[in-house]
Structure 1
């Protein structure tokens, strides 16, 4: 039950302008921000649209018209992922999008994953359409009032100023490509079909963007002379076997032929640089041998498959190391793009290689030894490569050892990251020792773990005192060890995912710190007292503004729950399967998610009636137990139907509490 995170900042706008009003505002079914007295559309409330007969019951294709003003401000920009169709499209059927005159800029991800759009109408005022803006959608493009910069004929959207092909609509298939200088990112998504081969590219072409041949079925491509620039991920085509590169090319960038099945490659004399993972692969055929011409001076980290025999005619060519690559890649791309997805083994451990080092994937063979040592020490190197990260489920022991087997775990110095679920169901661990080098420890790493935590060499970011593991940078409680039972919860701003699994209050009331602002999923899951007597109360302090799906799920014995006045939403499954006999929804809450207060056995629940304040505008499907009498003070409160949730979240049936 992941929440879709809206990308709310346009990269094209100055940061000073965005600082004017970063607060999200709402006008009807639309969310927006203000910059320099103008509105940036940042999101659409699909639930509100589903409640509107205009969208719900109209014959498809529905026309989704974006207003020219929001809150009295002119709409001049649209942010990323606004029309994403994965989580809650207005209808599970085709729809048109009409953008208003006055609009000047789109974001690179404005139409990302907008799968149901069949037509997009653009205004004459539009000045900026970034490459990749239309992603993998299959819509036709129209400028009914024309546009001084952009044109779309025969399904081919062109930036006439830069002579860049930005997008090909479905109607473009079969038409020759125009004489442009550049193919923009993802621009051939609808032009290439699986039965096309050796597509004819215009002789005017000078550069080619990313994802041009993404998963298109093409097996052979010939580039015209004149092309000097390719891009990362130009080819992401599992069927590609043969490519002819022009003599004008000077560089093959990082990941250029990623995930292709090239069986041979001739690198033209004149290429000076070959990027990291340039011809790396996932599956299929691999290049057995390649010769680098004397012009090549630099070869990036793992540019070719490990099995490939590389012959360099220039004895001074430099082959980049993993450490060097890690220093030049952006910090957000921690693993250096997609991992090679090649499984390696070293003794008892399985791992994969990233640009920074080895990532531990599995240690189950350690647990299947005839005699298991008392301590599982993760080696500092695997296959001669430093271990830098622990992957999800790498230390999951739920199916690998007997219940009586207990041992400690020691992570070596050098490990920097521990991913979510890394220790999930690691029931056998009694103590886990972390290194001082750890810089990222994800929430939810310790689901169903009963171990004590130790930092023998300290750590600048994380600490564990009285059994409470805290991320000091974010003031988040990540985990409570068994020794935390009966101790007061420290003054943190957030309870992380499953943070209080092992904690129990000293009495029959849970006291949360006044500093608390948000509570993660399953943070209070299944809370009961140390002697299993009923919990008298759970009081959420004023200041808590955010709960999560399943935050208080399964507190079976709780008798009183008080929400703070600062709360505006009670998310899906948030208080499901609790023993509440009554609940008071505070004024200010506008939305209650599906199954929020649901109880799996309607015959046992004591929650028989609830009053919704006038602020509540939306109640998700089966938010309350079957048979619960609901009084809504707002006559316009919308109660979601089964048909509507099927459209918004087709997988909901798998998560009935």
Structure 2
């Protein structure tokens, strides 16, 4: 292993550890509190002009676009209280140079750091399990990232146009396999470390310097966009894990980060019948479409593609018998979609298919039941027991339904279960067939 690269990784970890222990006065902490617009435990928007920011430890979710296009922030500490970074959190923060991620995170969401051209090094903490689509796309100056063995899913375009990045990973891990793949594409040697680099375990607010300069709202320069429908999904198996890979379309991307433009219409919401191609609603078909309200999926449809309705204004959907596949993130962040009935022909529900829908959010916040079940399909679980008995009658278990429940040690499956999605359960649990 290259000695200089190994020393660089150690230096990165030590620097992050030192930075998380910098003191701060009570006055500094109080003065910056008004910079954070929150709703409950969600940070909705950072409105300050500080160069060095520590997110309050009362925050559990950093909401979508919370720091988007902030041209002042250079250093951010995310405390261990934060469990989720939503999409586009630091999109276009060109001057962001350093980020300390807390150990509460379980995922780096899509486009989280896209376009952070000042970001050079980052350590992904233990407990993170996925790095999603274009999470670091366009971070053209990113040179070093440490990814722990807990990460079992990496979107292939997670590091789109990060031509100088070196992925530091444990031998045999999914990240090491991913690094090898990148190396083969770029004719470079992957860096695989024999032991993990220490990740900071405590986070304190660093000293900050006040500034009165306004936050820039400059929109990132436009970039080439992949043709909708050319984003294909595949899965490779590494050890006992299923690694979901996202393959960008063939159209060449010049620089930065991309986002499909299909379906971005706005206007009066309409009830529509979804368009299909060969029995499938194409990937990204209604992505960010703000003109759809009620959608009827026509008879003969067998598959709803990846991101097909993601981030749209969809309120109701009728899914007919005959649909067998609801692919990755098909209804992701359809915030107004409050109810879903799945037909008994469905045998695959992809990861994040209904994440951040009103239906899923209501289950997580208000349901007295630990299981979200539609028909005979178990879509999600929110309990915290080490041993779980799957209800009798469940036929399909969705991808990643139990994935983040590391407390889970044993699962009892009824005879009715016929299909279990990729990464439905965390690694190493005991599965008992009743």
- Shared fold per TM-score greater than 0.5: no
Return the structure number with greater helix share.
2
Larger Rg computed on CA atoms: 1
Length-normalised TM-score, structure 1: 0.23
